[in-house]
Structure 1
């Protein structure tokens, strides 16, 4: 590349950053300005070594090592644990679609796993990790440095006593401390990463024997322990100094406070940390009520982040309980409702639709635990003894899995039948219309009647208001295509977050909101639920959203869905409150496993388990089946982060006005049992850290 081209690339990059900054600032309130200014000033001071944690205070003469909140089950699956640990050593660490080799037992901590580019040790808070250049996506590097994958190694040592697992953990720890000094590099750029790392460090600490571990037995080990504790203190300070308040207070704030709380109980060694721990507890008790609706739905409108936030909260609740520092009844009640919502949203095979952002993120996980969603439900059942959770787990009948957390075992109610889980979560924004839910022959329809996302920027929300999903017997038909990526491919990031990637109406070729960037929407969407009725045979709901009121001729999209449980037919009626004519694209995204046949406005989607007949009454509309189009993107499905495949989408286009009613009939018919395929084995959601 010639120097002129290089200059133009740099100028364009800087302009992009300035545009993003201007858009981001437009979404903050006046009350947030002092917080942002203080953050800039604090960062500038700490870059010069002022008011930071580079000098760690001496520990108390008698430090308190916290009681373990993790331990091996009575009869652990030793073979599964050792196989997971040995796979990491032999094959490397899975980070999304790549594996990171452990050369001499350790990875290159500051090298991007995907591109191989090394990231320098600049002052962490000064690194613009959203625009790193050189095709670097910081998500890869952070995933490696969360140390979730250290846990199977600690488990392997715990169940086998084999010293080579412990020695490897010692090398990994020493190398990380060498490569990632306090405050330097991209691993000191985002405090939520410190929260995750502290939780996994706490698990490893307990499983290898705590302060008395053989890893620390000799002089070198004692020095390693001292260095580790210094870094623990610095992690605590970094998280506390840089809490994500105001418009950034989503799962990041929960994660920062949870990691600090867990660490401050695990290593109660510094007087200065105790007030920080008390503050973290207050933050957690406040945020669980703010970020989870009264019906249990996480308001980020993303199922993966619902689970992610619950994992943070579960770790904090367990560590606090082990120390006798329990959370309030109100906080625990909200956590229980969030678990019930999660159970309700899992289909009869334990799958959850990837609504909103889904990046396979995991706060912590154990080898042999299986699906992280089911592991979280098992933990919830042991914490709360909720009959509906126990019934859901019994209905799923998963293979036995190890539980490594110290939650008091709760009695599972006897004679469980199909779980009586709620189907209406109007406060959080989801309705489940179904027949025989939570059984092997369920018909499940999910109707999105929620907001765009949480806290002004809606960082993990998708423009999917009024979207409809449909599955039968655990087989997906109408799907949410997923997320694919965050920063690596801007056009695809926008597509997967945008309205055309969801089963709803897209008007005048624009999203329901104004796209501001990878984690930024510039306009809120208010969705209103007008009616919800269930007479036993028919269940219906009607809702509308105001996303298109911003158009020069404002439009309110109104949708009514009605399920006939006897016939298995779903009727979707779309209306548009407006004065002028508008272009409308109505999309129906199908699972890649569906075979589509038909033409124009009548199609049939077939799977081995059954068929979904689709007929559309929309005068003047044309129908087109699209699969895997690159420009502009359409017809893509992402089942795992950074992976995508073509998927069929039926795109219906035409003009609508205030008199238009589009009626879509979706009739499901199951394949007769003799012709159906054998029942599928329950498969959990994929886990980025290779712990399944």
Structure 2
């Protein structure tokens, strides 16, 4: 890590955190001198199953799940693996898990350090030649074991069992404790532990003694790591939740026969406490990312199940926050199931067959929560094919019908659903904090941004994430203000970026006013430019007869700095310049027109070979071209009014709208 990274991180730390980090550094020095062998637990410690997991799998596996499971397992047995928008080199079916499988980066073709390197010596931050460490971490989470174990449980698949045992043996042989990339981050250690424990629960009576012993040893060493190096202070986000979940499952699994569950109870108390911190009272995720919120909620859901099945009881507050999160996701979603991207998304999963083929992760988690605690009836997908929905259910989510305006005050979002010119309009307005804790790691500088869909399909969208450690300048771009549907003043971000996950100055956002009526109105503001330019950005979003308008102002006065206001359209949208208006359409269907009431320099870019050239990252590691409209100029004192006029619906749109109406409660 560079000196600049350390300086930026220290700036965000309190004195107690600095003391904690120094202690962490000393502990790493002690671990460096330890043996690299896996821990050998006492002879009176054994592996235990978690009651009910395998029974739920067998009882609830749907034909759709079984079909998807067959495809996933077939790919694994053929040596194929894809994740995070990348495809790994195929491995020999006769040698599915060579040492290189745990080290190779699929994008660069280069290998990360292995067992010859102390884990904490491996420099992975920044855009190094080896690639983005997220890729090798993904393989080392061993989440493919979940599919293999499910096939063993449901189909008594001997090839899947042999592959599962080979994978565990290979990983243990090439990844001794505290070496290589698999041992330098607590969340990776924890999620790998979850996968091993799920595999053990699904096929414990079929595993050979050597595999059971390896699982016991890996889990014991994982517990040692997680207890030595907890994520605290500025890093206590979803990482902390994952570590507590990993320890909860390890304590429930690795224990003496007939021993008490005090250590399990202790870890569940941490999960309940973190739930109250990471899911806000209105259901919005504190990290300001629906996908990270779902990731955290899925951990809580599994933790609640373990606590309940072991007779420890379930936190009422944890249940309440999970249901609030499901309600938040229902509000953000269109009835057809689309959900806007907001903030970071690295496609992390807890329970999964194959994240690369998952269709709607966030909704899947929300539906599992709803099914567990407040079932509203079967969702329109009668045969869920996700592992979490097989284990926990798949209830429908409730959507309001007709015009609706709803604000989530703690999370800082207002959602508007309306019908204009016979079309279904769905807007999400961001007026929330930058992110969670002092570094706000997964937030984007997108305050006052607006995204919207028409007839269930995205029109204005969030640009996405792309890459983390290997993203370089692109990582900065996708997090920055200019990439989002908001105003940028003087070419600088509303919040100050200090590294791939760090922030300095943070804009403070506020909801100024709402009017919930036919001529609805939402007014939001932030002070991100106050210290540098002496102004606040105030945006008013209000209903219009044929759509809606945005009015952007700088208060108390616009000053002399140039302003840019961006509108990132979704992939598949076409922009045509029709003199005074820009026409946006999809597949030949005109959706509407965009116009500005004050002259400026208006540009339209799509997929140009430049960092602001019109790109959207729909999934981690991928970018696709999409039109980006930018107005540049000087704001008049009254502000700039941008009008979105929706075109009257065609027969095709009317059909879509009827389908959406039919799904209004699913």
TM-score (norm 2): 0.90
Partner of 2:289: 302
Aligned to 1:79: 67
Q: CA deviation at 1:258?
A: 1.1
Shift of 1:361: 2.0
Corresponding position of 2:664: none
CA distance in 1, matches of 2:655, 2:427: 23
Structure-2 separation of matches of 1:421 and 1:65:
47
Output the CA distance in 2 between the equivalents of 1:328 and 1:420. Answer: 35
Are the equivalent residues in 1 in contact too, given 2:602–2:630 (CA < 8 A)? Answer: yes
Aligned with 2:51 (options 67, 81, 95): 67
Which of 365, 371, 381 pairs up with 1:382? 371
Shift in alpha-carbon separation, 1:274–1:116, aligned structure 2, 3 A? farther
The answer to which of 317-326 and 669-678 deviates more is 669-678
The alignment yields a C-alpha RMSD, in angstroms, of: 3.0
Q: Distance in 2 between matches of 1:512 and 1:639?
A: 24
Q: For the Cα contact (< 8 Å) 2:119–2:183, is it kept in 1? A: yes
Aligned residues of 1:444 and 1:471 also touching (Cα < 8 A): yes
How far does the alpha carbon of each residue in 1:601-622 deviate from its partner, in whole angstroms, 9 at most, with x for none?
6211012454121111124x22
**Worse-superposed segment, 567-576 or 455-464:** 567-576
User: Residue 560 of structure 1 aligns with which residue?
Assistant: 540
Partner of 1:635: 614
Which residue of structure 2 aligns with residue 574 of structure 1? 552
**Whole-angstrom distance in 1 between the partners of 2:652 and 2:424:** 18
**How far did residue 66 of structure 1 move?**
2.8
Structure 2 residue 168 is matched with structure 1 residue 179: no
Q: Give the secondary-structure state (helix, strand or coil) at the position aligned to 2:248.
A: helix
> Deviation of residue 677 (structure 1)?
8.0
Shift in CA distance, 109/337, structure 1 to aligned 2, threshold 3 Å: same
What SS is found at the alignment partner of 2:498?
A: strand
Q: Secondary structure at the match of 1:469?
A: strand
In the TM superposition, 1:126-165 aligns within 5 A as 126-131=121-126, 133-165=128-160
2:303 aligned residue: 316
Write the distance in 2 (CA, Å) between the matches of 1:174 and 1:420.
57
3-state SS, counterpart of residue 72 of structure 1: helix
State how 1:166-245 maps to structure 2 within 5 Å.
Answer: 166-208=161-203, 210=204, 213-216=205-208, 222-245=209-232
Deviation, 1:155, is 1.6
**Runs of 5+ consecutive residues of structure 2 not aligned to the other structure:** 661-666
The residue aligned with 1:5 is none
Inter-CA distance 443–346: structure 2 relative to 1 (3 Å threshold): same
Counterpart contact for 1:147–1:201, Cα < 8 Å: yes
1:172-220 Cα offsets, whole Å, 9 max, x none, are 0100000110111110000001121111212211111x2xx2222xxxx
The yes-or-no answer on 1:425 pairing with 2:385 is no
Asked if 1:327 corresponds to 2:308, the answer is no
What SS does the aligned partner of 2:366 have? Answer: helix
Q: Does the 8 Å CA contact 2:488/2:564 hold for their aligned counterparts?
A: yes
Superposition pairs of residues 28-39 of structure 1, within 5 angstroms: 28-39=13-24
- Aligned counterpart for 1:120 among listed residues 110, 114, 117: 114
Further displaced range: 170-179 or 669-678? 669-678
Output aligned runs, 1:16-55, within 5 Å: 17-49=2-34, 55=39
In the TM superposition, residue 299 of structure 1 has moved relative to its aligned partner by 1.2
What's the offset of the Cα at 1:670? 4.3
CA offsets 1:344-374 (integer angstroms, 9 cap, x no match): 2122222221110122222221369853233
Question: Post-superposition shift, 1:275?
Answer: 5.3
- By how many angstroms is 1:435 displaced? 1.5
Q: Structure 1 residue 441: deviation in Å?
A: 5.7
Aligned with 2:646 (options 668, 672, 676)? 668
Equivalent of residue 523 in structure 1, options 505, 523, 529:
505
Q: Give the CA deviation at 1:149.
A: 2.0
Aligned-partner Cα distance in 1 for 2:366–2:504: 35
SS at match of 1:643: coil
State the Cα deviation string for residues 634-677 of structure 1 (Å, max 9, x = none).
311111111111111111000236x2411111122243225778
Alpha-carbon distance in 1 for matches of 2:536, 2:579: 26
Corresponding residue of 1:372: 361
Q: More displaced, 230-239 or 245-254?
A: 230-239
Q: Which moved more, 1:136-145 or 1:266-275?
A: 266-275
Which of 507, 513, 519 is 1:538 aligned to? 519
Q: 2:124–2:469: 8 Å Cα contact kept in structure 1? A: no
Counterpart in 2 of 1:56? 40
- Inter-partner Cα distance in structure 1 for 2:248 and 2:259: 13
2-side partners of 1:533 and 1:666: how far apart?
A: 19
Tell me if the contact between 1:478 and 1:588 (Cα under 8 Å) persists in the aligned partners.
yes
Aligned to 2:663: none
Q: Give the corresponding residue for 1:486.
A: 468
* Conserved? CA contact 2:591–2:646, under 8 Å: yes
CA distance in 2, matches of 1:470, 1:451: 20
- The separation in 2 between residues aligned to 1:345 and 1:196, in whole angstroms, is 28
Q: Deviations over 1:542-592 (max 9, x none)?
A: 1111111231x322101111124xx34111111101453211000011112
Q: Distance in 2 between matches of 1:316 and 1:295?
A: 21
Identify the match of residue 623 of structure 1 among 589, 595, 602: 602
Aligned to 2:242: 255
Moved more, 641-650 or 665-674: 665-674
Separation in 2 of the partners of 1:375 and 1:472? 23
